[in-house]
Chains A and B, each alone.
Chain A
């Protein structure tokens, strides 16, 4: 089937945003030189943190597992270089909370000596999907589009959710970010190889590659690679450049017309979505036996001298990556991790690159001005028009502001993907997404409190029950004893009493005798 025959569907809402992509696509991806210190966070994914396998002073080799997954939804962490473990402890990490988290700090020996790697599996088609999933899990691969969900878990929806369509998310709809674009231009074959592996793992009958129309070079490269690789039923589909076409649910709707059910998974409608960089990492893991040690990071914005894309080892200091892009210009105003719509502002560049760090946007004040003061909502209504989740942002805002959390849920707060379209068009400049995040966090914390209260209540009830049982048992014992006493014949001589009386009598007799023996003066 040719691409022309497959219709592109539409998703509601969305925005036409200026792309600002060209500034970082002028030169090929550059490989960053190996740094001297690496800070590797123990958690770079959604799920449970990992457990360190090394101690301070240990020598590690490149690619060695230094922290293992403790739980199913987790991803191991590997040494990005050979060297010595300098420290294990809390370190600032890129996280919206700004809190510190456990990291392993490695001093590089500069040699980049690799550990022994598992054998490459070019014959992956003959291997069992479970085996391949285990390899993907070992490699520590997570969703590289930004969310960081462990890939080995995502490609295992279970037998009750068969996957018919595998979607490669190459939309990259956020302004400025070009790391996926450049990867497709340069390594389309590697991406398609990874796609073939994932397709074999999930057993999808067709693959759809969704790319925004503003990436003609990537589209051409991927089309050529599809033809040369001979992948059957694989289609490159060009979607209009409209934010947020790269949202998982939006891309699925664009390519298939299917709607992922509210709070459900794409697998429920037989679809699985993977990011292009994730597919490339899967190719490395399976076809080369290499774990995930590096990623491509876009460095862009008017705040850096020479924007571009860089292949960076995980754990590299962000400031070093910015230096590769010629360092900051005088105009730098904000540093954003991710794109300007959904990324978060970093307080500092003394933070490590993690698996999900797709873009460092050093923006000027012209690109990202300070937010103007918020005015009252005039119910202008553009927010509802642009909401891709078809929500009523105003109502959500009113109820979140009034802390009416039940009402926010009535208005489907949890279908909000926090894409920021509503806030972008708001004429009153109300930070709407902030209100929704607040309401979501408040609801989660309420639920946690309620769960805790439930546990406390159950504990209390259990204790009351236990006390009541003990009391009942004690009473029963007393009653039995009393009954036993009552059962004895009345007036019967108690041997103890008799003994005491006898002793008293003897004492009295002794006293009397002593009184008689006293001399009479």
Chain B
């Protein structure tokens, strides 16, 4: 009897790229729900616009490159990029900026480098930084959390605002939107105010800001789920959160009036999202275990440095992109010792 042949190993585990991506999307759900809860339907509208733009852009480029379109879209990586970028955008951002950022992420940052697996930079963060640098005003206008907001936008309002730019009647940008908590902290400190003075505003919660600390906590939960499911290893989040915590603690101990607590840093802005969902993008991160710890810690430190001394209130996107550049070098210098290469020759 004749048989077909194939190369060993003949059995493989159940893991696949699309499963990995699907787990990541699943782990994002709690955080996204919280974002919508606190900041309105604009979050969801952004994500949907981003998803449509990402899948369309990816399909178009794959077609031009002569690659299988449906099978590649099925790896879900474009969707993950879209969701990560979409949820990071202000819930009032005009639709075409979302589309611009996503198309840049998919076409320039990902496909022009060869598509999935070949991009040196995290595509979502590349798209985010493009928008932040080019459209700073639109990108830094955030809604206050629903609990403390004087006006809230319903779904139709949000949709109209995003698609046409027209406000609900009697509303102005200034009345409706404001700076993010990190931005307010930074501005306050720049005006030589003390942290306890800044925190008198009703925007502030127990560790971070109202709403934001919940979102961060749910990202943390989703991230721990990914670690438990072995979708990501603990090294990068531990490195990043550890690095940020330690350096923030040092400065906080030196002067607690002008340096927020390390927990504030961990539960504000995109720290948790970055630690578990962005810095851990395996394609653009370091791969050795020691390398991941170093890579994560350096991102954490960069986040602190940029937040404290840089030109932007949050820094996760910049820090991740900067460390993406260093990942190959970190990998090179952190190779593990292979079996049988122990110097003394025994245990």
Q: How far is the CA of A98 from the CA of B285 in the complex (A)?
A: 42
Contact A424 B12 (CB under 8 A): yes
The reply to whether A431 and B7 contact each other, CB–CB distance below 8 Å, is yes
The CA-CA distance from A224 to B347 in the complex, in Å, is: 31
Distance between Cα atoms of A258 and B346 in the complex (Å): 5
Chain B, 179-194, CB within 8 A of any chain A CB: none
Chain B 1-24 interface 0/1 with A at a Cβ cutoff of 8 Å (1 = within) = 111111111111101110110000
A161 lies within 8 A of chain B by Cβ: no
A363 CA to B10 CA, complexed, in Å: 10
* Given known A259-B347, A363-B10, A384-B287, contact A347–B116 (CB-CB < 8 A): no
Within 8 A of A (CB), among B214-258: 230, 233
**Interface check A263, CB cutoff 8 A:** yes
Write the chain A residue with the least CB distance to B282.
Answer: A379
CB-CB under 8 A from A268, the residues of chain B are 345
Docked complex Cα distance between A428 and B1 (Å): 32
- Chain B residues near A332 (CB, 8 Å)? 1
Q: Known: A269-B345, A390-B338, A415-B339. Contact between A379 and B285, CB under 8 A? A: yes
State A381–B283 Cα separation when bound (angstroms): 10
Q: Known interface pairs A345-B3, A375-B75, A390-B338. Does A340 touch B347 (Cβ–Cβ under 8 Å)? A: no
Q: Which residue of B lies closest to A422 (CB)?
A: B9
The smallest C-beta distance from B110 to any residue of chain A, in angstroms, reads: 11
Of the candidates B75, B114, B338, the one whose C-beta lies within 8 Å of that of A412 is B338
Q: Are A345 and B5 in contact (CB under 8 A)?
A: yes
Contact residues in A for B288 (Cβ distance below 8 Å): 384, 392
Residues of B within 8 A of A17 (CB): 11
Q: With an 8 A cutoff between CB atoms, is A427 at the interface?
A: yes
Chain A min CB distance to B9 (Å): 3
Would you call A331 an interface residue if the criterion is a C-beta within 8 Å of the partner chain's C-beta atoms?
Answer: no
Q: Is B66 an interface residue (CB 8 A)?
A: no
Cβ–Cβ contact B9 & A423, under 8 A: yes
**Using a CB-CB cutoff of 8 Å, which residues 68-114 of chain B contact chain A?**
71, 75, 77, 114
Q: Which residues of A contact B114 (CB under 8 A)?
A: 376
The answer to whether A334 touches B4, judged by C-beta atoms less than 8 angstroms apart, is yes
* B10→A427 contact, CB < 8 A: no
Q: Is B166 an interface residue (CB 8 A)?
A: no
Report yes or no: B339 in contact with A249, Cβ–Cβ below 8 A: yes
Q: How far is the CB of B35 from chain A (nearest CB, A)?
A: 26
Flag if A428 contacts B7 (CB, 8 Å).
no
Shortest B255–chain A CB gap in Å is 40
- Mask, B252-272, CB within 8 Å of A = 1, is 000000000000000000000
| A12 within 8 Å of B (CB atoms) | yes
- Which residues in B have their C-beta under 8 angstroms from that of A263? 340
Asked whether A376 lies within 8 Å of B115 as measured between CB atoms, the reply is yes
Q: Which parts of A319-338 form the interface with B (CB within 8 Å)?
A: 319, 328, 332-336
CB contact under 8 A between A269 and B346, given known A371-B6, A427-B16? yes
Which one of B4, B12, B117, B338 lies within 8 Å of A429 (CB-CB)? B12
B347 close to A253 (CB less than 8 A): yes
User: Which residues of A sit under 8 angstroms from B335, Cβ to Cβ?
Assistant: 392, 411
Shortest CB–CB separation between residue B282 and chain A, in angstroms? 5
Name, among A259, A367, A425, A433, the residue most crowded by chain B CB atoms within 10 Å (CB to CB): A259
Residue A368 at the B interface, CB < 8 A? yes
Decide yes or no whether A164 CB sits under 8 A from chain B: no
What chain B residues lie within 8 Å of A425 (beta carbons)? 12-13, 15
CA–CA, A428 and B77, complex, Å: 12
| A385 at interface, CB cutoff 8 A | yes
A388 at the interface (CB under 8 A from B): yes
Task: Report the bound CA distance from A376 to B335 in whole Å.
Answer: 22
Residues of A within 8 A of B13 (CB): 15, 424-425
* CB pair A389 B346 closer than 8 Å: no
How many angstroms between the C-alpha atoms of A426 and B340 in the bound complex? Answer: 24
- Cβ–Cβ contact A380 & B20, under 8 A: yes
Q: Which residues of B contact A343 (CB under 8 A)?
A: 8, 10
Question: Which chain B residue has the least Cβ–Cβ distance from A260?
Answer: B340
Q: Check B135 for interface membership: any CB of A closer than 8 A.
A: no
A341 to B10: give the CA distance in the assembly, Å. 6
CA distance A392 to B283 in the complex (A): 15
> Is the CB of A76 closer than 8 A to any CB of chain B?
no
Whether A423 lies near B346 (C-beta < 8 A) is no
Closest B residue by C-beta to A385: B233
In whole angstroms, what is the CA distance A437 to B287 when docked? 23
Q: Is A153 interfacial (CB 8 A cutoff)? A: no
Whether A346 and B17, one on each chain, are in contact in the complex, defined by CB atoms closer than 8 angstroms, is no
B117 touches A377 (CB 8 A): yes
- Expressed in whole angstroms, the Cα–Cα distance for A15 and B8 within the complex equals 15
Q: CB within 8 A of B19: which of A328, A377, A382, A427?
A: A427
Q: How distant is the Cα of A55 from the Cα of B27 in the complex, in angstroms? A: 72
Is A391 interfacial (CB 8 A cutoff)? yes
Q: Verify B336–A261 contact, CB threshold 8 A.
A: no
A474 in contact (CB, < 8 A): no
Are A334 and B17 in contact, CB atoms less than 8 angstroms apart?
no
Pairwise interchain contact B8-A420, C-beta atoms closer than 8 A: yes
Closest to A256 in B: B347
Distance, CA A156 to CA B282, complexed state (A): 48
* CB neighbours of B283 from chain A (8 A): 378-379
Verify B4–A389 contact, CB threshold 8 A. no
Q: Does A257 contact B (CB under 8 A)?
A: yes
Q: Does A275 lie at the interface of the complex (its beta carbon under 8 Å from any beta carbon of B)?
A: no
Contact call A415/B12, Cβ cutoff below 8 A: no
Point out the residues of chain B lying under 8 angstroms from A226, CB to CB.
none
CA distance A415 to B117 in the complex (A): 26
B14 to chain A, nearest CB (A): 10
Q: Within 8 Å of chain A (Cβ to Cβ): is B155?
A: no
1/0 contact string of A377-419 vs chain B (CB within 8 Å)? 1111110110011111011000000000000000110010010
CB 8 Å contact bits of B164-204 with A (1 = contact, 0 = none): 00000000000000000000000000000000000000000
Assess the A347–B339 pair: CB atoms within 8 A: no
| A380 touching B282, Cβ below 8 Å | yes
Contact call B342/A391, Cβ cutoff below 8 A? no
A483 at the interface (CB under 8 A from B): no
**Which residues of B in the span 316-347 have a Cβ within 8 Å of any Cβ on A?**
331, 335-342, 345-347
**Structural contact, B10 and A381, CB atoms closer than 8 A:** no
Asked if B1 and A427 make an inter-chain contact with CB atoms under 8 angstroms apart, the answer reads no
A contact residues around B336 at 8 Å (CB): 384, 390, 392
Tell whether, in the assembled complex, residue B15 and residue A427 are in contact, meaning their CB atoms are under 8 Å apart: yes
Q: A334-B4, A344-B7 are in contact. List 19 more A-B contacts (CB 8 A).
A: A262-B341, A333-B4, A340-B9, A341-B8, A345-B7, A345-B10, A347-B3, A378-B20, A378-B77, A378-B283, A381-B287, A385-B233, A394-B287, A412-B341, A420-B8, A421-B9, A424-B13, A428-B16, A428-B117
Binding site for A on B (CB under 8 A): 1-13, 15-17, 19-20, 71, 75, 77, 114-118, 230, 233, 282-283, 285, 287-289, 331, 335-342, 345-347
Mind listing 29 A-B residue pairs with CB under 8 Å? A9-B347, A175-B11, A259-B340, A259-B342, A259-B346, A260-B340, A262-B339, A262-B341, A263-B340, A269-B346, A333-B3, A333-B4, A335-B1, A343-B10, A345-B8, A345-B10, A346-B5, A347-B2, A368-B11, A378-B17, A379-B285, A384-B287, A388-B339, A389-B339, A392-B288, A411-B335, A412-B338, A424-B9, A424-B11
Closest 10 CB pairs of A and B: A420-B9, A376-B117, A262-B340, A345-B5, A257-B347, A412-B338, A389-B339, A427-B15, A340-B10, A379-B282
